């Protein structure tokens, strides 16, 4: 049966979930949709893995009606794999695609993909063009975005040139994390370059980078004039960041982030993980994620200890209720640092 996939309009009031390898899986995308996320990007999926029907890669394709609209992000450096894979994905019903030209991790760079593509714009544009042509064969019209950084090496500002070329070949939107590839996550995201990018093209520009709070999201939109933002690490700590952002944009009260509120999020994340995945691997993964939601509350260490003792879903659900009774910490020494996620 063909998947039913909607398209979307890109607006400042429709925040996205950024692609997050290891995290923006189906349960998490459905969770953040409940808190106002407009579009969820999948984890990056290796095109070569899809071409060779690698089962661990295929797992990343999971979707469902509550995940709609979603964007499937692909990565790879060999154009010949994109043709057949896009054809197959479109025939299954996938409609919205993204090309990863921003990932700086060593494993991805070694294969010439991710942000390494920014060193060879002809190759990057050629791959994007194959995706655009194939996506257009979706009966309702497919759409393609490209996510990139400023350039590969520090100071190599190829992003404007790249963006104009992508616009010319019919790419529907672009998203940029304004750091250089070699920079990884060091220093600050340079939002001023998002403003320059927005002025250079007419297709929608989505911004990413250091959007750890709803306030940062609102500021980024206001300071740069871009069309939309995507939350990444900020959503991993607080899946309700989307609702906070929307409330702030409207001048409404943001939900109070206390133990009870967080416990509800955790319970739902456990439920969705059990429903959509439910295997041992997903159990261990969600068990390790839960303490992050309790950031800023007193007693995370004890919570972590109780969670580690859990051997089944029922025990996990019970242990997670501890969060309801946690109070804000006097100081944030108990905090987990955001940077620990990107290592
Ligand atoms: C754990 C992790 C995994 C990521 N995976 C991807 C990915 O698969 N594809 C991608 O384009 N970007 C990926 N990114 C980059 C994010 O989408 C985002 O652009 C970046 O984290 C900057 O936003 P932030 O500073 O608000 O977190 C990843 C980032 C992190 C921290």
| Residue whose CA lies nearest to ligand 1 atom number 18 | 232
Q: Which atom of ligand 1 is nearest to the CA of 177?
A: 19
What's the pLDDT score for residue 59? 87
- Compute the distance from residue 172 Cα to the ligand 1 centre, in Å: 20
What's the pLDDT score for residue 256? 86
Which ranges of the chain does DSSP label H, i.e. alpha helix?
26-33, 47-51, 55-58, 79-92, 106-110, 121-135, 159-168, 191-200, 214-224, 233-237, 241-250, 259-276, 280-293, 300-308, 313-320
Domain with CATH 3.20.20.70 in the chain: 16-250
pTM of the shown model: 0.95
| Residue whose CA lies nearest to ligand 1 atom number 3 | 20
Residue 220 in contact with residue 190, Cβ under 8 Å? Answer: no
Q: Which atom of ligand 1 is nearest to the CA of 189?
A: 25
pLDDT per residue as tens digits for the range 50-107? 999 888 898 899 999 999 999 999 999 999 999 999 999 999 999 999 999 999 999 9
pLDDT per residue as tens digits for the range 306-335? 999 999 999 999 998 899 988 877 654 433
For 16-250, the fitting CATH number among 2.60.120.260, 3.30.43.10, 3.40.50.300, 3.20.20.70 is 3.20.20.70
- Compute the distance from residue 318 Cα to the ligand 1 centre, in Å: 31
Asked if omega into 69 is within 30° of 0 (cis), the reply is yes
**For ligand 1, which residues put their CB under 6 angstroms from it?**
18-23, 43-44, 73, 100, 102-103, 147, 177, 208-211, 232-234, 341-342
- Compute the distance from residue 20 Cα to the ligand 1 centre, in Å: 5
- Compute the distance from residue 330 Cα to the ligand 1 centre, in Å: 30
Q: Which atom of ligand 1 is nearest to the CA of 43?
A: 8
Average pLDDT for 219-229: 98
What Cα–Cα distance (Å) separates residue 107 from each residue in 1, 12, 196, 263?
35, 34, 31, 36
| Residue whose CA lies nearest to ligand 1 atom number 14 | 20
Question: Would you say the C-alpha torsion 301, 302, 306, 307 has a positive or negative sign?
Answer: negative
pLDDT per residue as tens digits for the range 95-132? 999 999 999 999 999 999 999 999 999 999 999 999 99
| Residue whose CA lies nearest to ligand 1 atom number 9 | 19
What's the pLDDT score for residue 54? 86
- Compute the distance from residue 177 Cα to the ligand 1 centre, in Å: 8
Q: Which residue bears the tokens 């409609």? A: 95
Average pLDDT for 198-215: 98
Average pLDDT for 186-196: 98
Q: Which atom of ligand 1 is nearest to the CA of 211?
A: 26
Average pLDDT for 154-179: 98
Please tell me the least confidently modeled range out of 23-32, 205-214, 312-321: 312-321
What's the pLDDT score for residue 1? 66
**Pocket mutation for ligand 1, best pick of 177, 193, 220 (most atoms within 8 Å of C-beta):** 177
Q: Which atom of ligand 1 is nearest to the CA of 234?
A: 26
- Compute the distance from residue 343 Cα to the ligand 1 centre, in Å: 11
């Amino acid at each position: 049966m063909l998947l039913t996939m909607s398209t979307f309009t890109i607006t400042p009031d429709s925040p996205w979930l950024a692609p997050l390898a290891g995290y923006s899986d189906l349960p998490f995308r459905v969770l953040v949709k409940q808190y106002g996320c407009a579009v969820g990007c999948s984890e990056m999926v290796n095109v070569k893995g899809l071409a060779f029907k690698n089962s661990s890669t295929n797992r990343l394709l999971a979707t469902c009606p509550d995940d709609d609209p979603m964007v499937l992000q692909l990565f790879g450096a060999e154009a010949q794999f994109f043709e057949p894979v896009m054809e197959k994905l479109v025939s299954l019903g996938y409609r919205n695609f993204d090309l990863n030209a921003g990932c700086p991790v060593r494993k991805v760079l070694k294969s010439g993909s991710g942000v390494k593509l920014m060193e060879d714009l002809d190759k990057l544009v050629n791959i994007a063009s194959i995706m655009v042509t194939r996506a257009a064969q979706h009966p309702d019209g497919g759409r393609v975005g490209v996510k990139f950084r400023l350039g590969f090496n520090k100071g190599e500002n190829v992003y404007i040139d790249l963006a104009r070329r992508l616009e010319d070949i019919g790419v529907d939107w672009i998203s940029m994390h304004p750091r250089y590839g070699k920079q990884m996550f060091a220093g600050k995201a340079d939002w001023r370059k998002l403003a320059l990018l927005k002025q250079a093209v007419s297709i929608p520009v989505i911004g990413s980078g250091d959007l750890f709070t709803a306030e940062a999201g609102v500021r980024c939109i206001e300071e740069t004039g871009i069309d939309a933002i995507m939350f990444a690490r900020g959503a991993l700590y607080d899946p309700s960041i989307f609702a906070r952002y929307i409330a702030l944009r409207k001048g409404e009260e943001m939900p109070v982030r206390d133990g009870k509120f967080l416990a509800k999020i955790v319970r739902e994340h456990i439920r969705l993980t059990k429903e959509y995945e439910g295997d041992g691997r997903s159990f261990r993964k969600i068990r390790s994620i839960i303490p992050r939601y309790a950031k800023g509350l007193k007693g995370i260490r004890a919570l972590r200890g109780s969670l580690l003792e859990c051997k089944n879903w029922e025990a996990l659900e019970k242990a997670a209720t501890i969060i309801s009774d946690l109070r804000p910490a006097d100081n944030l020494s108990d905090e987990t640092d955001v940077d620990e996620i990107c290592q």
